[in-house]
Every structure is written in C-alpha cells, then in structure tokens.
Amino acid sequence: MEKFIIRILLPVITFIIAGIILFSWLKNSYADSTNIITSQIYTDQDIRSLYMNYCAGCHGERLERFNRSNWIFEETDEMAIQSIKYGREEVGMPAFEKTFTDEQIRAMAKYIRAEIPMDDNKRKPAFSMNQVVKSEKQNFTVDTVVTGLHVPWGMEFLPNGDILISERSGTLYRFSNGRLNKIENLPEIVAKNQGGLLDLHLHPDYEENGWIYFAYSDPSEGGKQKANTSIMRARLSDNKMIDKEKIFDGIPDSPKVHHWGCKIEFDKEGYLWFGIGDRGSRDVYPQMLDNHNGKIHRIHDDGTIPEDNPFVNTKGAMPSIYSYGHRNPQGTSVHPETGEIWITEHGPKGGDELNLIRPGLNYGWPVISYGINYNGTKFTDLTHKKGMEQPITYWDPSIAPCGMTFVNSDRYPGWKNNILIGSLRFEYLERVELSGNRVVDQEKLLEGIGRVRNVVVGPNGYIYVAAEKPGFIVKLLPVN
C-alpha cells in the first residue's frame, strides 16, 4: 500500500499542488499587469510610474515643463486625450495610441491636468466648456471639435464633413473620424515668422470641379531669402495634392517676414478676393499701384483678371488691384444680403480697422491712421484726408483682428447678419452688429479662449472658431 502511494499518488498530488501554486502566481501576475488597464483601479503611483517612464524626459519629473508647453492648455480631458493619443507633430509631441491603452491615456490626461503647475500669468477662460454661455442676444454652449493643432490658419469643410485645416507651419491636415491626416505634395512654403501656409477655400462648385484654393508664402526662384504671397489651386486625391496650378504670384518678393495678408473668399458672382499686407514696407508699397502689396485683389477662379477691375486700363498698375492703401488685411467676408466685401486689417499700435471695400478707393495707409508706432512715436498726424476712405469702425487699443465671418445661419437668430471677428491680442471673439453700414453694437464673446485665428460658418450652419498656441477648433451650439 505504501509503495502504491509513493509510486502513484504522490506524483499526482505533487502535480496538483504545483498546478495550484502556478495558477495562483499567474493570477496575481495578471492582476498586477492589468492594474493600470482599468481606470477604476488606477492608483496615483500607477500613473506616476507610466509618466516617469514615458513622459518625464521631455516634460520634467515634476511636470515643471508643462507650463511652458502650449498644448497642455487643453480645456477638457478630451482635448488632452487627443494630444496624448495622436500626438502633435508640429511641436515634436509623439503619438501614444500604440503605447498606451485608451484607459491609460484617459487616466494620464486626468493626472497631468490635475498635477500640472499652474502659470499665474496664463489667461483662463471666463466660461466653461460644459456650461451655457450667456451673451446679449444669443446663448450657446461650446463643443470641442479638433485638438492637437498649433497655429490653424484656415479651415474648410469637405462635402463628407471632413475638415481641411491649414497650419502656418506649412502643414495641411484633413480631419476625419477624429484624426488629423497630413496632406502630401504641397508646394515649397516659407514658414517663417508670420509667413507660411495661410488661408484656404473651396471653389463654389467644388463638388463638380474639385478645386481647393490656398494662400502661402512663396519663396523666390533664388531661394528662401525673399518671398511673397501666392495663391495656388489643386485637387485632393487620397490625402495628396494633385493638378497644382499657381494662379497668382505676388510681386515684388520681399526679404521681410511679416504682413503677408491673406484671407481668401469667393463672392456670390464667383470672383476670388484676397488681401496682401504691406510686407513691412509701409512707405514703399501701399500707396503705389505698381506692386501687389498693401492691396485688396479680385481675380477670376483661374487667375485671369476681370475686365471691370478698376485699374485694368491704368498704365503701370497691377490689374488685379481692387483697392489700395491697406496695412495687413487678415479678414475677408461677403455680406450675406448685399454681396459686398468687408475686411478687417491690423493697424500698428492702435488703429485696427473694419472696412467696406469699394472699387478703386484708397484706404489711406500709412498717410492716415488712428494708430502710432509700437515705440509710442507718431508716423503721421493725420486721421482724415480728402480722397482717402475712413474705416467703418476702428479699435484702439488694437485687438489684432484675424479671421471674420458674417453670421448667415438661421441657427443663431440673435446674431443674424452680425460680423464675428477673432482677436489675437485679447483672446476673444468680437461680435459686431450693423444697421446698414453703421456699427450699432459690439460684444466680447469667449473671453480668454485663446488667440482666435479664424471663425467660419460651416455648411451645417454652425459657427466654428479656431484658436492658436495651443491650436484647437470649437463649435458654438445655440441654446434657445
């Protein structure tokens, strides 16, 4: 009997005991390995360990470098999650979607936003993304649509709902199904200071011809030491630009790196409008008709010149010029009822302007202005002069207006036909109400949201606002 137990049962018992021990070890090991997979059982130590392994090298062991990293100003967990998951290529932030699980990413976003050292000088929004924002004539909520950007200049909606977004750094994105996809085969772009990839616009008959128009800082043939604003059109095929045609080439090239313009817009008759800044040479270009700088231009969709442009028959004048004497126009929009072109342009220190564009008129820069030099000195004593147009309104101090749109959507009855203008300097959206061509009311919206670079009304009738540094796009949802 004893021999039977030793020879037969003892190995079986030993095998069973070993199996129980192995199972217990595997269970505990699995529990340890999955302790950070489910956010409900995360501990601060779990997330801290992940952070130290993957993030501290760039952002500091105590998260001390986040207050100098723009992207962390993400207003919600979801905005931070998008940055962690998909990265931000333009600022060197890698994507972690293949490194962390979705639950790990979500927990990491919460951890970082809770622990980051606060910068007391950072402007904080006077509103919450999750609360109703009450304005004078139209209440709304704010919904985050796109994150992970830096300086989004232009945004256009494709027929399927995807959004094309131009980054000043020279990158064109297609935002589709929650992801930013990079568009390839763009022209060479001088992405320096205020220059780079600027505005973009779809042809009014895009669904038939597929043309996409975009403005950019175009290097001269001799290299990147000189450049000017150009307009190109191309078609999109599998996230690649094809059939590229340069339809406008601004002259002369300039070595300076600011005041490029350039918002573009199609009017109701199919003309393409855009403005080019004075390129930092205020005493040379804006008052002369032999160059493109400091002007508003009107061309056909193929780049040819309309026969009724005001300077077509003026000897030595650039035939695309529609008006002149402009400093740095960065807003262009068509009045939904009159079809007239309105622009905003940057003044110097003070003197930002809202202008209604008329053919052949001189808007005065730099002969007349409500602004002064940045060092506080004057460059002119004149605010009025015969033969030079007055702005519809002006801002002093400067708000740094960028991007503008007329609210032509019935979704916002309180704002119908109002103008919305982005403020880069004071980080809000300016609402301007008109009676005819006269400003009767102004209101600040979204105060503290960030440097507003653009605002558009999408084909679905909703207002979209793009802010920069960090770059993101939000949608305004009206509340009755």
182: domain CATH number is: 2.120.10.30
End-to-end distance of the chain based on CA atoms, in angstroms? 90
250 and 109 housed in the same domain = no
Answer yes or no: are the C-beta atoms of 446 and 133 closer than 8 Å.
yes
Query: Quick check: is 228 in a domain?
Result: yes
Of 149, 82, 142, 147, the residue nearest 448 (C-alpha): 142
- DSSP letter (8 states) at residue 293: T
Clarify whether 259 is annotated catalytic: yes
- Single residue among 65, 99, 115 that ends a domain in this structure: 115
Alpha helices in 34-63, H assignment, sequence order: 44-54, 56-59
How confident is the model over 64-77, as pLDDT tens digits?
A: 666 544 444 455 67
Q: Could you tell me if residue 20 is inside a domain?
A: no
Percent of the chain residues topping a pLDDT of 70: 83
Q: 125 lies in a domain? A: no
* 222 lies in the same domain as 282: yes
Beta strands of 305-450 (E only): which ranges? 321-324, 329-334, 341-345, 352-356, 393-395, 401-406, 419-423, 428-435, 438-445
| Average pLDDT value over all residues in the chain | 87
Strands (E), 241-328: 241-249, 264-266, 272-276, 295-299, 321-324
pLDDT at residue 7 is higher than 60: no
Together in a domain, 338 and 458: yes
pLDDT score, position 42: 65
What is the average per-residue pLDDT within 175-195?
94
Lowest mean per-residue pLDDT among 100-109, 168-177, 271-280: 100-109
Catalytic hit among 150, 201, 203, 259? 259
CB 429 within 8 A of CB 420: yes
CA dihedral sign of residues 384, 388, 394, 397: negative
- For the purposes of burial, counting CB atoms within 10 Å of the CB of 465, is it exposed (0-12), middle (13-18) or buried (19 or more)? buried
Q: Give the total number of structural domains in the chain.
A: 2
> What pLDDT band is residue 308 in, cutting at 50, 70 and 90?
very high
**Are 105 and 155 contained in the same domain?**
no
Q: Using the predicted structure, report yes or no on whether residue 326 has a pLDDT greater than 80.
A: yes
In a domain, 270, yes or no: yes
**Is 353 a domain residue?**
yes
Q: Are residues 324 and 362 in the same domain?
A: yes
Note whether 149 and 263 are same-domain residues. Answer: yes
Q: 94: domain CATH number?
A: 1.10.760.10
In a domain, 150, yes or no: yes
Q: What is the 3-state secondary structure of 444-467? A: EECCCCCEEEEEEECCCCCEEEEE
Residue 162 maps to a domain: yes
353 and 230 within one domain = yes
Looking at residue 287, its pLDDT comes to 98
Final residue of a domain: which of 81, 115, 149? 115
State the pairing for strand pair 393-395/401-406.
unpaired
In the predicted model, is pLDDT for residue 39 greater than 50?
A: no
| 125-134, 437-446, 463-472, range with the lowest pLDDT | 125-134
Statement to judge: residues 258 and 216 lie in one domain: yes
Give the up-direction half-sphere exposure of residue 363: CA atoms within 13 A in the CB hemisphere: 35
pLDDT for residue 444: 97
Between 185 and 92, the more confident residue is: 185
Are 413 and 446 in a shared domain?
yes
**What confidence score (pLDDT) does residue 469 get?**
86
DSSP secondary structure of 322-339: EEE--S-EEEEEE-TTT-
The Cα–Cα gap between 347 and 282 comes to 11
* pTM given for the model: 0.78
Residue 10 located in a structural domain? no
402 and 449 housed in the same domain: yes
Q: Which domain holds residue 473?
A: 139-479
143 in the same domain as 111: no
Instruction: Find the mean pLDDT for residues 381-395.
Output: 97
**Of 132, 244, 168, which is closest to residue 424 (Cα–Cα)?**
168
Contact of 261 with 279, CB cutoff 8 Å: no
Report which of residues 28 and 331 the model is more confident about: 331
pLDDT of residue 299: 98
224 and 107 in one domain?
Answer: no
Per-residue pLDDT band for 30 (boundaries 50, 70, 90) equals: very low
